[in-house]
Amino acid sequence: MVTFSQEVKSEICDQVLDEKNAKYFLNGMIFDKLQLVNDHYQSYTSQHPKTIIFLKKILILLNQELKNEIRHTHRINQLKKHEYELIFKLDSTLLSLDNQELEEQQLRAFFGGLFLSVGNLSTFSAKDHHLELIFSNEHKVWLVNDLLIQNGFNNFKLITRKNKYILYLKKTQEIIDFLAYINAFDCMFKYEDSNLKRKLVRKVQLSNNLDIVNLTKTIDLNNTLIPMIQMIVNDKTFQEQKPLFKSYCYTKLNNPSASLSELSELLTKQGYQITRTGLAHYNKKVKTLYKQLKN
**Worst-scoring range by mean pLDDT, 46-50, 102-106, 136-140, 143-147?**
102-106
pLDDT at 125 over 80: no
pLDDT at 14 over 90: yes
CA dihedral 135, 137, 139, 140 (to 10 degrees): -40
- Same domain as 254, residue 174: no
CA distance linking residue 276 with residue 274, whole number of Å: 7
What pLDDT score does 215 carry? 58
- Same domain as 114, residue 171: yes
- Same domain as 157, residue 17: yes
pTM of this prediction? 0.66
Q: Which pLDDT tens digit goes with each residue over 262-291? A: 888 999 999 988 888 888 898 899 889 988
pLDDT at 209 over 60: no
- Same domain as 182, residue 264: no
Question: Do strands 157-161 and 119-121 pair parallel, antiparallel, or not at all (unpaired)?
Answer: unpaired
- Total domain count, the chain: 2
Residues 254 and 229 sit within 8 Å (Cβ to Cβ): no
Using 50, 70 and 90 to split pLDDT, how confident is the model at 33?
A: confident
- Same domain as 267, residue 222: yes
What average pLDDT does this structure show over 161-165?
Answer: 92
What pLDDT score does 174 carry? 92
Radius of gyration of the chain (CA): 24
- Same domain as 289, residue 165: no
What residues make up the domain containing 154?
Answer: 4-189
Residue 282 lies in a domain: yes
CA distance linking residue 251 with residue 24, whole number of Å: 43
- Same domain as 143, residue 217: no
Burial (Cβ within 10 Å: 0-12, 13-18, ≥19) of residue 227: exposed
pLDDT at 80 over 80: no
- Same domain as 80, residue 10: yes
pLDDT at 52 over 90: yes
